[in-house]
Structures are given as C-alpha cells and as structure tokens.
Amino acid sequence: MSKLEKHAPIFLNNTESKLYPCLKEDMEVEFAIIGGGLGGITLAYLLKHMGKRVAVFEANQIGMGTSLRTTAKLTIQHGLIYDKLMHTKSPGKAKQYADANRKAIEFVKETISKEQIECDFMNMPSYIYTADEKYIKAIQDEAEACKRLGIEVNYKDQIPLPIKVKAALEWEGAALFNPKKYISSLAEKFTADGGCIFEETPITRLVPGEVSVLETDKGCKVSARRIVIASHYPMYDGLGLYFTRLNMQRIYVLGLKVDKEKLPKGSFISVDSPIRSIRPIYEQDIVLIGGGHHRVGDDQYEATHFEELKQFGKEVFNSDEVYSQWSLQDYVTPDSVPYIGYLNSSKYHNIYVATGFNKWGMSNATNAALVLKDLLLMGTSPFEDLFNPQRVSAYKGKTFINHNIEGIKNYMQGKLRTVPKDTLPDKGEAIVAELEDGNVYGIYQDEEEHYHIVDIICPHVGARLRWNSAEKSWDCPFHGSRFNIDGEVLEGPSTHKLNGYKEGKNKIHPNLI
C-alpha cells in the first residue's frame, strides 16, 4: 500500500482516475449538470439511462471534492434527526425523510450489483451512541420516534467498540463503500453510453432564460434547456438567497492504522460533545475518526482538532499511527433538511439545485439525484415538498438567525484586522499586511522561503479571508469560499481566483441574479 500525502483523503488510495477533457468550444445540450460529485454523476447516469442528452461540467476532477473527503457512510441514521423532524415538521415529513434516504441507499446497493462496481462495498450496521448520562433521554426519544415512524432500530447498552456507552441505537440496513471508486465507475458507464464529462471546466456565469447559457472561465458557452446546479454550494444564486441559509461547517478526519482484530464491526457517531464519527476501512486496516466541527473561518487553531482526534484514537484503539488526515467542508440548513428542487420557483422553472446535505452526503446526494430525475422528467416527485428549497422553514428559527448574525460579525471583524506592513511571516506561516501600494494582502512564506502574496478580499461578496493554518488555505468566514496559497479556488461559492500582488484588487462576482 503506497503512502498518501499527509492531507490526502484515504479513498484516493489504490484508486485509478480516468481523466476527462476540458471544454474547448461552444456546445448545446438538453441537460447541463454543474458539479461532478456523487449527486451530479448519479443524476447524469440516471438521465442518460433514459436516453437524454446530458453533459457534466466539473471545475476540477470528478469525485475529488467533498464526495471524496467524507467518511462515506450509507445510513438513514443522520444523528438525532427523526425526533427533531417529528417536532419541527410533522410525523409525515419525518417518515418521508427516512423513506427518501432508504430509497437512496437501496439504489446504491442495487446499482453496485447491477453494474458490478468494485468499490469496497460492505453491509455493516450503523450506530448512534452516547457515553454521557445526560444524553440517554435523547437516545430514548429518538428510539421512540423511530418506532412511531416504522423505522426498525435496536436499542443497545453495548456497541462493538471499546467504549462504555450509556445508550445506543443500531440500524442494520447500513453499509460502507469507497465513494471515489463508485463515482468513477458510474462516470464510465455514463460516458460509454454517450454522455459527456468536462473536467477543469469551471462555470463562472449563468444567464437564465428559456434556453439558459453557461459561460466557462475560458469563454466557452453552453446552451441548455435544463440546468442542475450540484456544485456543493450553488455557484449561481438566482435570488434564492442561499447565502443566508447555508451554514458552512469545517470537519476534520484522521485515518489511523490499527491492528486488524481491532477494526470495529460497524459505523458509529456519538451525540456527545464533542461529536466523534468512526468507521473502519477493512481493506487497509484503517479506522477513520471524524470530528472537530466548527464554522468555516471561526477557528484559528485548526491543527489542534487533528491532535484531539489522534488522542481519541489512542484511547479507543491504542494506536497513534496516523496514516493520513484531512478536512472537509459541508453546508447545513436551518431545519436539517437538504435543498433539492427548483433554484427559485418564483423565477425559474428550468434551473434546479441540490445542496445543504447536512454532513450526510452519501445518502442525501443520491437522494437528490433520484428526486431531481423525477422533477426533470415527470415534473413532480413524492418528496418535492419536503425538500423544496423555498420552503418557509428554511427562512426562520434560531439557527437561521444565528448564522446570519455570525456572518455579518465575521464580515466586519475581517475588515479591521491587519499587522504592520514591515512584518513578514516565518516559514510555513501567513500574515495579513498592508503593502506599499496601499492594499491589504495575505502573505505566506513556504518552506523554500518563497512568498505567496494574494489579495484576500473574497471575490464572492467582498468579505476578508482568514488563514487556515492546518490546510494552508485562505478561508472566507462569511460564505465558505476557500483558496490555496496562490489564490486558486479550492471551494465555492466563489467562481473566481484571487489576484496576486500588483495585479489589481479582486473584482466581486456574487452571481446573485
């Protein structure tokens, strides 16, 4: 087994990736899908199977974004979700959420079998647990909610982990897989059937209309009658105000080498604080441990989260051999239900969106593809009301209010922070400084003593970026865009890179209308 780079996701190991061309000329297509992650590729596969003309446009390489960086659990146990939905929505909506995600998991299992996809698939139960007495009632309430909804879970006081738990719920229908291998295989099936995938093709502008037009960073234009934005965070807002109701969260994952006999027989997530997520990778004798959730740009000590996960791994598995570690970004909705459907139903009926998977993207992204397939081909879905992006519950509540207050606070605080311009960073560190041209820059010194200088005003809406010391990136605390040390986009919603020293100030491209 070859050694990965320190921050490379474990699912890249022993995985071959086919490369697809970038778009070099204008084209017309019936369905254009922006984003080549699990949701976008699954939808493309489904539409092509129905004989449609489909093209996928990916800014980087397919399956290399958040889909690759998760712990890849296929489960309907999305934390303590069902008791919450029973109270905040209705028993009917809670049951729909379970049914939609169960259907998505069944689709993945059936597709793997039908297409004979080799993706390290394993049926393995999932568990929600607590080691703290104060969360016992929460587990019991979730068990009661599941019983009322007809979800078969088993209440446990022990789990197959060396952790003394107070209460737990087991769901036997869960599974694990390698999302990169699965996505790559679906993509090959899609293109073999005549579908088109274009990599290294960022879409920087969308002009809506009866026939909408996409523009790439190279100036190519794509005309399409139906457009699906599956780019994790919508690259085009369409006055849907998604920036006010998607809370961006940073999450950390550590891959720990353990003795084969210590590999757990299941996937796990705690409800305690701090939350810990655990799953085995049997093919490599590795346990993935996730946690350390915080709002993007709100934590100046990102590296400490890896140390805390390492300490947890030492306590539970008696190993501190870190094979790989990485972080990921996900988007959380105020009511814990994804946005799947029309981007803005009051304005456009041929532009669709899938976003806000609330850290459960393996089932929710697949679910999004199934719901959107029905909306695109039949004009309706049994789940469209539940996932309607314009539902009222997406605009109210404590979570919605706190997200926007925090965003405004971060926007204003970022405008005020600089250091004296005669200060330079040490190797491996970064500072924010005003230089002789009067502009404020982010300055990073690499290990070869080269300086990387970029304008750190985010091109999305103009917030000041913050330095992420663990990932060596400039992160936006307002809407979650991320850039590498040379200003290239790592994570949207920004569609434009940062300018370098004396290249002029970054232009703002909010893509709101």
Query: 188 lies in a domain?
Result: yes
279 and 293, same structural domain?
A: yes
pLDDT-derived band at 240, boundaries 50, 70, 90 = confident
Q: Residue 264 sits in a domain of what CATH number?
A: 3.30.70
pLDDT value of residue 424: 75
DSSP string, 284-343: GTEEEEEEEEEETT--S-THHHHHHHHHHHHHHHS---EEEEEEEEEEE-TTS--EEEES
CA–CA distance, 106 with 110 (Å, rounded to integer): 6
pLDDT value of residue 160: 96
β-partners of residue 68 are: none
Question: In this prediction, what percent of the chain has a pLDDT beyond 70?
Answer: 91
Helix axes 179-192, 38-49, angle to 10 degrees: 30
pLDDT-derived band at 405, boundaries 50, 70, 90 = very low
Query: 109 lies in a domain?
Result: no
- Burial letters for 217-251: b for 16+ Cβ neighbours within 10 Å, e otherwise? beebebebebbbbbbbbbbbbbebebbbbbbbbbb
pLDDT value of residue 413: 46
Q: Of 293, 316, 332, at which residue does a domain stop?
A: 332
> Which among 22, 33, 71 is positioned nearest to 279, based on CA atoms?
71
Average pLDDT over residues 471-496: 85
Mean pLDDT of the chain: 89
pLDDT value of residue 244: 83
392 and 286, same structural domain?
A: no
358 and 233, same structural domain?
A: yes
List the domain range (segments joined by +) for residue 324.
247-332
323 and 466, same structural domain?
A: no
262 and 231, same structural domain?
A: no
Q: Is 12's pLDDT higher than 80?
A: yes
pLDDT value of residue 53: 97
Work out the number of other CB atoms within 10 angstroms of the CB of residue 150.
9
Q: Residue 479 sits in a domain of what CATH number?
A: 2.102.10.10
Both tokens of residue 156?
A: 């446990």
Average pLDDT over residues 365-386: 97
pLDDT value of residue 139: 98
Query: 459 lies in a domain?
Result: yes
Query: 373 lies in a domain?
Result: yes
Query: 25 lies in a domain?
Result: yes
Tens digit of each residue's pLDDT (9 = 90 or more) over 198-239: 999 999 999 999 999 999 999 999 999 999 999 988 989 888
371 and 345, same structural domain?
A: yes
319 and 195, same structural domain?
A: no
pLDDT-derived band at 296, boundaries 50, 70, 90 = low
Tens digit of each residue's pLDDT (9 = 90 or more) over 319-334: 999 999 998 889 999 9
- Burial letters for 188-201: b for 16+ Cβ neighbours within 10 Å, e otherwise? ebbbeeebbbbbbb
319 and 342, same structural domain?
A: no
Tens digit of each residue's pLDDT (9 = 90 or more) over 248-287: 888 999 999 999 999 999 999 999 999 999 999 999 999 9
pLDDT-derived band at 409, boundaries 50, 70, 90 = very low
432 and 361, same structural domain?
A: no
309 and 438, same structural domain?
A: no
Q: Of 283, 315, 332, at which residue does a domain stop?
A: 332
Work out the number of other CB atoms within 10 angstroms of the CB of residue 168.
24
pLDDT value of residue 18: 87
Tens digit of each residue's pLDDT (9 = 90 or more) over 112-152: 999 999 999 999 999 999 999 999 999 999 999 999 999 99
pLDDT value of residue 476: 86
Query: 383 lies in a domain?
Result: yes
Query: 76 lies in a domain?
Result: no
pLDDT value of residue 452: 92
Q: Of 332, 356, 384, at which residue does a domain stop?
A: 332
Question: In this prediction, what percent of the chain has a pLDDT beyond 90?
Answer: 67
293 and 426, same structural domain?
A: no
264 and 223, same structural domain?
A: no
Question: What pTM value is reported for the model?
Answer: 0.85
pLDDT value of residue 415: 43
pLDDT-derived band at 376, boundaries 50, 70, 90 = very high
pLDDT value of residue 490: 86
Number of domains making up the chain? 3
CA–CA distance, 251 with 20 (Å, rounded to integer): 29
Query: 483 lies in a domain?
Result: yes
Tens digit of each residue's pLDDT (9 = 90 or more) over 84-120: 999 999 999 999 999 999 999 999 999 999 999 999 9
Lowest pLDDT segment from 41-45, 368-372, 440-444: 440-444
